A = this chain, B = another copy of it.
Amino acid sequence: MLKSELPRKAVYRLSIYQRCLSLLQDNGVERVSSEDLSKAAGVKPAQLRKDLSYCGPLGTRGLGYPVESLRITIEKVLGSHRLQPVILVGAGNLGSALLRYQGFRKEGFEILAAFDQNPGKIKTPIEHTPVYDVVDMPAFITENKVKMAILCVPVANAQDAANQLVQNGIQGILNFTPAVLHVPEGVVVNSVDLALELESLSYYIR
């Protein structure tokens, strides 16, 4: 049940199971079978059981899984039981939309602050999140022990911004720019490339 044993893709799916379980719990459901939970999560039953087995034996044969305790166990395995502080860099078009997006907080993340180069955007909080000048970023990261950043700057500034983030202790970057980021060993980058997703989609359409 060590982290190193969890396959990459299982991490994603466990998050999905967590959501489905919260939903079931809200509806007062106490037990669920791999069949039903897997259907809700959009995977096959065997996949679900295999994924859960990485977290230990959690179900009862013949009966299924207890909803609440399963949710809590997954929370612990993923380490998502504590509220992770995050900063956002680049409060432009997409960045502002992400600040307003409620989905992050709902899943346990708080965007503490945003940073931008454009003085016009600074000091105008977006949806309760303050927007500061990028020169104040290093101090902020250190003071608030921030480990994760959402990167939404123009592509031309992406690598520079990433370097600065890493230099100040950021260990994980959620990259919304189409740039290929080069970061040192130990820093994790998850890239969400919007145009790439559309392009790959279009390939599979006849």
Contacts and interface: CB of A to CB of B under 8 A. Distances in A.
A80 B204 CA distance: 12
B178 A201 contact: no
Integer count of this chain's copies in the complex? 2
B148 A15 contact: no
A109 B195 contact: yes
A92 to B, nearest CB: 9
A42 B162 CA distance: 15
Nearest to A170: B205
B104 A97 contact: no
A79 B78 CA distance: 39
Given A12-B196, A195-B109, A203-B78, A93 B97 contact: yes
Contacts of A93: 97, 100-101
A171 interface: yes
Contacts of A173: 201
A29 interface: no
A61 interface: no
Interface string A101-131: 1011011110000000000000000000000
A188 interface: yes
Contacts of A12: 196, 200
Contact of A174 (B80, B86, B201): B201
A190 interface: yes
B199 A15 contact: yes
A73 interface: no
A148 B198 CA distance: 9
B196 A84 contact: no
9 contacts: A15-B196, A16-B196, A79-B203, A93-B100, A94-B101, A107-B196, A108-B199, A188-B204, A192-B194
